[in-house]
Amino acid sequence: MKHVAAAMLFLACASAQAAGGEREKFHKAVYALHEKLIAQHSVRTTEETGKYNGVAAGGERYLITSYYDTVTGIFLSRIQRNAVNPSEIHISEVNIYDDKGKLIRDYFTSAPPWRPNYPSHAYINLHHYNGKLHSWRQFEITGEVNYESCDGELDGKQVRISLDWTDIKPGNTSSPEYHACFDGMSNEWKSFVDPK
């Protein structure tokens, strides 16, 4: 019995390490995509600085830079980094648009300031449009749905849906509004684990 328990613990640890390694790779890839995008666009930036609260990172300073295309004004990306050591990336957000300027997907990673290479969050967000409705679904890089959101108008009425993973169940997903928001949305997240 001890051998079975030890084997199960080993497998759990190996699985966690594998997932952690994928998160680290994804974190670096999202930042690399940010660098590629800003090299392809003429950009303007806005910046803000601040200081973390709390015990683990209390007092450590950060710099947030938001990047916008100067021609279209679209929001390309936002990077939060260590203000003293800019190579330490805490948060990366990158938006991808279609040829008409509609947001079709975005990426988000965040790592704690004391471990900037080990992200605690790694998400792929897929966006969908139906008339005046804009919906998006958030996937963990392992494929689990973490969040769903939809805003807009359906038949002259305002629609606002916001569901975290614990709320995505039949009682909340059977309404005509939910179907108008999410029917037809792609669930193909695997294609985007390598951010592009």
User: What whole-number percentage of the chain has pLDDT above 70?
Assistant: 90
- Pairwise pLDDT comparison (14 vs 141), residue with the higher score: 141
pLDDT in tens, 54-110: 887 888 999 999 999 999 999 999 999 999 999 999 999 999 999 999 999 999 999
Q: How far apart are CA 106 and CA 93, in angstroms?
A: 7
Helix (H, G, I), strand (E, B) or coil at 35: helix
| 157-180 pLDDT tens trace | 999 999 999 999 999 999 999 999
> What residues are paired with 47 via a beta bridge?
65
Number of C-beta neighbours around residue 129 at 10 A: 17
The 10 Å Cβ neighbour count of residue 147 is 17
Question: What ranges do the domains of the chain cover?
Answer: 2-192
pLDDT reported for residue 20: 60
Determine the 3-state secondary structure of 91 from DSSP. strand
